Protein backbone atom coordinates (compact mmCIF):
# COMPACT_ATOMS: atom_id res chain seq x y z
CA UNK A 1 0.00 0.00 0.00
CA UNK A 2 1.51 3.35 -1.04
CA UNK A 3 1.28 6.61 0.94
CA UNK A 4 -1.77 7.86 -0.97
CA UNK A 5 -3.63 4.61 -0.36
CA UNK A 6 -2.70 4.76 3.35
CA UNK A 7 -3.91 8.35 3.57
CA UNK A 8 -7.20 7.52 1.83
CA UNK A 9 -7.68 4.48 4.08
CA UNK A 10 -7.15 6.63 7.20
CA UNK A 11 -9.48 9.35 5.92
CA UNK A 12 -12.04 6.70 4.98
CA UNK A 13 -11.99 5.42 8.58
CA UNK A 14 -12.82 8.93 9.79
CA UNK A 15 -15.47 9.49 7.10
CA UNK A 16 -17.12 6.15 7.90
CA UNK A 17 -17.19 7.02 11.63
CA UNK A 18 -18.70 10.43 10.82
CA UNK A 19 -21.44 8.75 8.74
CA UNK A 20 -22.60 6.97 11.90
CA UNK A 21 -23.57 10.38 13.29
CA UNK A 22 -25.66 11.36 10.25
CA UNK A 23 -29.24 12.49 10.66
CA UNK A 24 -30.90 11.07 7.55
CA UNK A 25 -34.51 10.07 8.30
CA UNK A 26 -35.70 10.89 4.77
CA UNK A 27 -33.12 9.42 2.39
CA UNK A 28 -31.69 6.88 4.85
CA UNK A 29 -28.31 7.60 3.20
CA UNK A 30 -25.74 8.10 5.93
CA UNK A 31 -22.90 10.20 4.53
CA UNK A 32 -19.64 11.09 6.21
CA UNK A 33 -16.74 13.16 4.95
CA UNK A 34 -13.23 13.83 6.13
CA UNK A 35 -10.90 16.65 5.13
CA UNK A 36 -7.12 16.64 5.40
CA UNK A 37 -5.79 20.15 5.96
CA UNK A 38 -2.39 21.64 5.22
CA UNK A 39 -1.13 20.81 8.72
CA UNK A 40 -2.11 17.13 8.47
CA UNK A 41 -5.18 17.50 10.69
CA UNK A 42 -8.36 15.59 9.88
CA UNK A 43 -11.77 17.25 10.14
CA UNK A 44 -15.06 15.41 9.74
CA UNK A 45 -18.71 16.09 9.00
CA UNK A 46 -21.90 14.17 8.35
CA UNK A 47 -25.10 14.91 6.47
CA UNK A 48 -27.93 16.50 8.43
CA UNK A 49 -31.24 16.28 6.58
CA UNK A 50 -34.30 18.43 7.02
CA UNK A 51 -37.95 18.00 6.03
CA UNK A 52 -37.41 21.11 3.91
CA UNK A 53 -34.92 19.34 1.65
CA UNK A 54 -33.16 22.54 0.57
CA UNK A 55 -32.11 23.04 4.21
CA UNK A 56 -30.22 19.73 4.26
CA UNK A 57 -26.52 20.08 5.10
CA UNK A 58 -24.12 17.82 3.24
CA UNK A 59 -21.28 15.97 4.94
CA UNK A 60 -18.65 17.55 2.70
CA UNK A 61 -19.67 21.11 3.54
CA UNK A 62 -19.98 20.26 7.23
CA UNK A 63 -16.45 18.79 7.25
CA UNK A 64 -15.06 21.85 5.47
CA UNK A 65 -16.87 24.17 7.89
CA UNK A 66 -15.34 22.24 10.81
CA UNK A 67 -11.91 22.62 9.20
CA UNK A 68 -12.35 26.38 8.76
CA UNK A 69 -13.61 26.64 12.35
CA UNK A 70 -10.45 24.84 13.49
CA UNK A 71 -8.26 27.37 11.69
CA UNK A 72 -7.72 25.89 8.23
CA UNK A 73 -6.91 28.58 5.68
CA UNK A 74 -9.20 28.63 2.62
CA UNK A 75 -7.55 27.16 -0.45
CA UNK A 76 -5.26 24.81 1.46
CA UNK A 77 -7.13 21.53 2.09
CA UNK A 78 -5.35 18.68 0.32
CA UNK A 79 -7.82 15.80 0.34
CA UNK A 80 -11.53 15.10 0.88
CA UNK A 81 -12.91 11.60 1.35
CA UNK A 82 -16.65 10.90 1.11
CA UNK A 83 -18.28 7.72 2.42
CA UNK A 84 -21.97 6.94 1.98
CA UNK A 85 -24.02 3.92 2.94
CA UNK A 86 -25.81 2.28 0.04
CA UNK A 87 -23.53 3.75 -2.66
CA UNK A 88 -20.36 2.46 -4.25
CA UNK A 89 -19.40 5.95 -5.41
CA UNK A 90 -21.30 9.10 -4.57
CA UNK A 91 -20.16 12.21 -6.41
CA UNK A 92 -20.52 15.49 -4.50
CA UNK A 93 -23.54 17.65 -5.28
CA UNK A 94 -23.17 20.95 -7.12
CA UNK A 95 -23.32 23.05 -3.94
CA UNK A 96 -20.51 21.00 -2.39
CA UNK A 97 -18.45 21.32 -5.57
CA UNK A 98 -18.83 25.10 -5.48
CA UNK A 99 -17.76 25.29 -1.82
CA UNK A 100 -14.87 22.89 -2.42
CA UNK A 101 -13.69 24.99 -5.39
CA UNK A 102 -13.14 27.87 -2.98
CA UNK A 103 -11.82 26.01 0.07
CA UNK A 104 -9.62 23.26 -1.42
CA UNK A 105 -6.11 23.66 -2.77
CA UNK A 106 -5.99 23.79 -6.56
CA UNK A 107 -4.34 20.36 -6.72
CA UNK A 108 -6.56 18.73 -4.06
CA UNK A 109 -8.17 15.37 -4.73
CA UNK A 110 -11.72 14.34 -3.81
CA UNK A 111 -12.31 10.62 -3.22
CA UNK A 112 -15.61 8.82 -2.92
CA UNK A 113 -15.34 5.40 -1.32
CA UNK A 114 -17.29 2.51 0.00
CA UNK A 115 -14.12 0.70 1.07
CA UNK A 116 -10.35 0.93 0.66
CA UNK A 117 -10.37 -0.89 -2.68
CA UNK A 118 -13.40 0.57 -4.47
CA UNK A 119 -13.18 4.30 -4.88
CA UNK A 120 -13.23 7.02 -7.46
CA UNK A 121 -11.23 10.23 -7.40
CA UNK A 122 -11.50 13.61 -9.06
CA UNK A 123 -9.70 16.92 -9.06
CA UNK A 124 -11.93 19.84 -8.12
CA UNK A 125 -11.67 21.12 -11.72
CA UNK A 126 -12.98 17.79 -13.01
CA UNK A 127 -15.96 18.11 -10.69
CA UNK A 128 -16.56 21.79 -11.39
CA UNK A 129 -14.61 23.13 -14.37
CA UNK A 130 -16.04 26.64 -14.19
CA UNK A 131 -16.89 27.64 -10.60
CA UNK A 132 -18.76 30.82 -9.73
CA UNK A 133 -16.16 33.43 -8.82
CA UNK A 134 -16.65 37.03 -7.68
CA UNK A 135 -14.16 39.47 -9.14
Catalytic residue positions, numbered: 60
Rounded Cα distance, 44 and 62, in Å: 7
- 121 forms bridges with which residues in the sheet? 111
Rounded Cα distance, 62 and 113, in Å: 18
Distance of alpha carbon 107 from its chain centroid, rounded?
Answer: 15
Amino acid sequence: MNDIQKSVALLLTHARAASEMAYSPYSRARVGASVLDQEGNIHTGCNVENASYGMTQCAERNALAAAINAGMKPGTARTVVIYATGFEVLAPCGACCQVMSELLAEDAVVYSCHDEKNYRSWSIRELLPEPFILN
